[in-house]
Chains A and B, each alone.
Chain A
Amino acid sequence: MEIKVLKDILSANNQIAERNRQLLDSNNVFAVNLMSSPGAGKTSLILETIKRLKGKTRIGVVEGDIRSSLDAEMISKEGVSVVQINTGGECHLDANMTYSALGNVPLQDIELLLIENVGNLVCPAEFAIGEHKKVLISSIPEGGDKPFKYPLMFHIADAVLINKIDLLPYLKFDTEAFSQAIRGMNERVEIFQISCTTGEGIQEWLSWLLTQIDRR
């Protein structure tokens, strides 16, 4: 006998993600799912964000890595609470892993939770984890064709940070065309040009972030 199912394969994940969101909401925590390819600057952005928002908002971090706790150690030196998730081979965080991690985050003591996903432009785009905003970092050395190669990621991002703009004089990269390509496939996206090295554009990113937290 044939039975109609018509159910999203990721519906179980989405349900847990919704539960995570409720848990965050009930604690008044705003969560950002930070995604990018490896080496685009997720950890650098987190460090820069923590340093500049000291005294303005209380931050917690969840570090997702396939293995190692190098990033978590670096971040904990900044005096914020860090929870490490080692996915043990999985190339993305999912809602259930995030749920387990949330149990170790002092939710009542923070207002902003930065969740660093595994460096990868494919798989994290599929898996909701309960975040309020999806933020994508795309760096200049990766090349301008990335929106077309990983359209889903660019399509679902609430904000795209074009990082390492201090390298623009040395590389062939058309920021205008790149931004136009992203806006073409994503009507509501916010785009920021930043450099974690020189600090350029970071203030704009932080203002946007603080506005999002206030609006929550």
Chain B
Amino acid sequence: MHELAITQSMLDLVLEQAEKVGAKEVGKINLVIGEMTGVVDECVKFYFDFLSKGTIAEGATLSFKMVPTMAQCRDCHKSFELKEFDWTCPYCQGYGIKIIAGQELFVESMEVE
């Protein structure tokens, strides 16, 4: 459900950046979204089409780079991808982890004309 607010923030950011370079049209927006944020790409697309109507970003393509949740063990310091219901370290079975990826939520780049 937070996709509406997130898409609006993303669009605001894109329009602000486009204005800075005096763009007439936004063609493509490259987004990076961490799995842990729970942001659903299809949902963002749906809201984007709706919210961008009448702006220079109308019709822009959204590209999503989804980042899996990665952890580092606090005991043995090895890194691994987190599975849904098992967050123990597969190497030393420690249960203390540090999240090192998966919380990303940013606009990486965009193509403008």
Question: A residues bordering B, Cβ < 8 Å?
Answer: 1-13, 90-92, 94, 120, 122-123, 126-127, 145, 148, 151-152, 155, 180-181, 183-185, 187
Does the CB pair A92–B2 fall under 8 Å? yes
User: Residue-by-residue, is B69-101 near A (CB-CB < 8 Å gives 1, otherwise 0)?
Assistant: 100001000000010110110000001111100
Report the bound CA distance from A51 to B36 in whole Å.
37
Report the bound CA distance from A183 to B69 in whole Å.
17
Does the CB pair B99–A91 fall under 8 Å? no
Most-contacted residue by chain B among A5, A90, A92, A183 (CB, 10 A): A5
Residues of B in contact (CB 8 Å), total 38
Main secondary structure of the interface of A (DSSP, over half): mixed
Does the CB pair B38–A185 fall under 8 Å? no
Q: Is B66 an interface residue (CB 8 A)?
A: no
- Would A152 and B103 be within 8 Å (CB), given that A7-B17, A92-B5 are in contact? yes
Q: Is B51 an interface residue (CB 8 A)?
A: no
Of all A-B residue pairs in the complex, the 9 with the closest CB atoms, nearest first, are A123-B2, A184-B95, A5-B107, A91-B1, A9-B10, A148-B85, A8-B106, A4-B109, A9-B105
Q: Is B60 an interface residue (CB 8 A)?
A: no
Main secondary structure of the interface of B (DSSP, over half): mixed
19 contacts between A and B (CB under 8 A): A1-B21, A2-B109, A3-B111, A5-B14, A5-B106, A9-B10, A10-B105, A91-B1, A122-B2, A123-B5, A145-B85, A152-B37, A152-B38, A152-B103, A180-B95, A181-B87, A181-B95, A184-B95, A184-B96
- Would A183 and B84 be within 8 Å (CB), given that A5-B109, A91-B1 are in contact? no
Report the bound CA distance from A204 to B104 in whole Å.
35
> B5 to chain A: which residues have CB within 8 Å?
90, 92, 94, 123, 127
Chain A nearest CB from B84 CB (Å) reads 7
For residue B34, which residue of chain A has the nearest CB? A152
Report the bound CA distance from A178 to B83 in whole Å.
17
For residue B84, which residue of chain A has the nearest CB? A148
> A151 to chain B: which residues have CB within 8 Å?
36, 69, 82
For residue A181, which residue of chain B has the nearest CB? B87
Most-contacted residue by chain B among A5, A9, A122 (CB, 10 A): A9
For residue A91, which residue of chain B has the nearest CB? B1
Q: Is B55 an interface residue (CB 8 A)?
A: no
Report the bound CA distance from A69 to B110 in whole Å.
43
Report the bound CA distance from A127 to B5 in whole Å.
10
> B85 to chain A: which residues have CB within 8 Å?
145, 148
